[in-house]
Amino acid sequence: MNKEDLKIIFNRKKQKIERKINKKGFVKEKLIAGFNLTTFDQFYNNWFSMEKFEKGCFYCGTTNKTSEALYRIQRDGKRPDATRGGKRGKRLELDRINPNLPYDNLDNIVWCCYWCNNAKSNFFTKNEFEPIAIEIGRAIKKIMEQH
């Protein structure tokens, strides 16, 4: 993970307002939660470490390298593709352990694989998700051994 790639990930997670026009022609605005007060430099200096990144998914331990390999297996057509058109799963994502806290609370941000992020959603707490994550990690390891 270099600084430029991290910046891309960070910028995608900036808070924004999504505007959509509904069937009646009205503009609907929706706040998409993300980093609001935190600058990239603050994020980089106070949160990022190569060591943390190399540990992989906070929940199941899947590394970025494994995530990329799984992504390729799907995109090659060797497995059903769950990458949402190639948009997800290529690399580790940023997750809020507690989704009720703002992104600016950096202690609450962790690296997370796509599969854990998807399964945890905004529903399970960290403790509730723990046994699920262990099984996701096991399943991913098994898949990697088969390819």
Q: Which residues are at the interface with Zn ion (CB under 5 A)?
A: 57, 59-60, 62, 113, 116
Q: Is 49 left (phi over 0), alpha (psi -120 to 50) or beta?
A: beta
The closest alpha carbon to 34, from 48, 17, 49, 47, belongs to 17
**Shorter beta-carbon distance to Zn ion: residue 40 or 69:** 69
* Cβ-based nearer residue to Zn ion, 104 or 132: 132
Residue position matching structure tokens 């202690």: 107
Task: Kindly list the distances between the CA atom of residue 25 and the CA atoms of 16, 21, 38, 82, in Å, as whole numbers in the listed order.
Answer: 21, 6, 35, 33
What's the min distance (Å) between Cβ of 115 and Zn ion?
6
Closer CB to Zn ion, 28 or 141, in the complex:
141
CB 79 within 8 A of CB 144: no
Shortest separation between residue 70's beta carbon and Zn ion, angstroms = 11
Instruction: In angstroms, give the least distance from the CB of 119 to Zn ion.
Output: 8
CA 121 to chain centre: 10
Nearest residue (CB) to Zn ion, 16 versus 128: 128
